[in-house]
Homo-oligomer: A and B are copies of this chain.
Amino acid sequence: MRELIEEVFVRTLGETAPLYLSDASALPATSATLMVTTDGFTVEPIEFPGGDLGALAVHGSVNDLAVAGAEAKWLTLAAIIEEGFEISQLRRIVASFATAASQVGVRVIAGDTKVVPRGRGGGLYFVVSGIGVRRRESLELARIKVGDALLVSGPVGDHGIAVMLAREEFGMRGDVRSDSAPVLDLCRALWPLVGLRFVRDPTRGGVATVANEICRGTGLGLRLQEAALPVRPTTESVCEMLGYDPLYLACEGRALAVVAPDQATEALRRWRTLAAGCDASIIGCVQAGSARVTLETALGGERVLDELFDDPLPRIC
């Protein structure tokens, strides 16, 4: 076990994880407010076009902090490894975790490894806690007002479709790549705007789920324009064939932002200057009336986007 940890985790994580072996590590002193998050990652398959469990675990944790207004600084990594899992694949996933961590500039300060018997695990699960420094305060549902605009940073549903196709359950193949990526730069770009109310990354359950969260939390309605929603053509055609709605599919590198009406255009401009936000779009607005999400369809019709009752894709992240 010590050998596994030293050979695979410590060596592969390298300078990203100087303190991995310690049972407890000290954080450098800071006067800033720290924010904390935790997430389990159980995606199946463990590697898929555009990403893998390692990068996804970093992005998911960094993004949870980013949408809350914080820059991730330190991560912990707990691995639950099923007996018989290939060491070479483990090494690839840990290397991908290290690369993603180093790209965002975060350090791994604590780690743990548990091996569970065959049939009692899913190959490899990661649980990551993230600690970040708060850079922007008061991003909360309570600040959302009637007339606010809802922006999305890029095409939705790619992660959900990429993972689903990688499972080959439907006998389909396609070249959809996961959008797995940090949204930190997207968030940073909007933090200076006083009209920024609320940010969320539409992971499990997609845009529709975040939209419902907004309605539930504010008591206000949300009206979305289907025609304004960016969806890649390949993702759209897979959705059409299988009856999925891209609005409910997980993204792992997109952000949704609610912005005061007078700063919506400026927010959009800021996102579009970034590569990660070049397809950003204003997709809806907050309205008075009943607390539900209404979609104005491309054909001019209207339907209510309910909360997801049945999760169509387990182990999506």
Residue numbers in B under 8 Å from A25 (CB-CB)? 35-37
Of the listed stretches A47-55, A125-133, A223-231, A246-254, name the one at the interface; the rest are far from the partner chain. A125-133
Which residue in B27, B38, B113, B114 is a CB contact (below 8 Å) of A110? Answer: B38
- Say yes or no: is A29 at the interface (Cβ < 8 Å to chain B): yes
User: Considering the chains assembled together, what is the distance between the CA atoms of A19 and B131 in angstroms?
Assistant: 15
Q: Which residue of B lies closest to A204 (CB)?
A: B1
Residue with the highest number of chain B CB atoms closer than 10 Å, among A40, A41, A121, A131: A40
Chain A, range 81-106, C-beta contacts under 8 Å to B: none
Q: Is A127 a contact partner of B23 (Cβ separation < 8 A)?
A: no
We find that the number of chain A residues with CB closer than 8 angstroms to chain B is 54
Given contacts A40-B79, A70-B24, contact A311 B122 (CB under 8 A): no
Does the CB pair A115–B314 fall under 8 Å? yes
* B27, B35, B40, B119: the one within 8 Å of A80 (CB): B40
Chain A stretch 185-237: residues in CB contact (< 8 A) with chain B: 200
* Residue A111, interface by CB 8 Å: yes
Other A-B contacts than A22-B68, A36-B76, A116-B122, 15 sampled, CB-CB below 8 A, are A23-B67, A23-B68, A24-B36, A24-B37, A24-B64, A24-B65, A24-B70, A24-B130, A27-B33, A36-B131, A42-B80, A76-B129, A80-B127, A116-B314, A125-B125
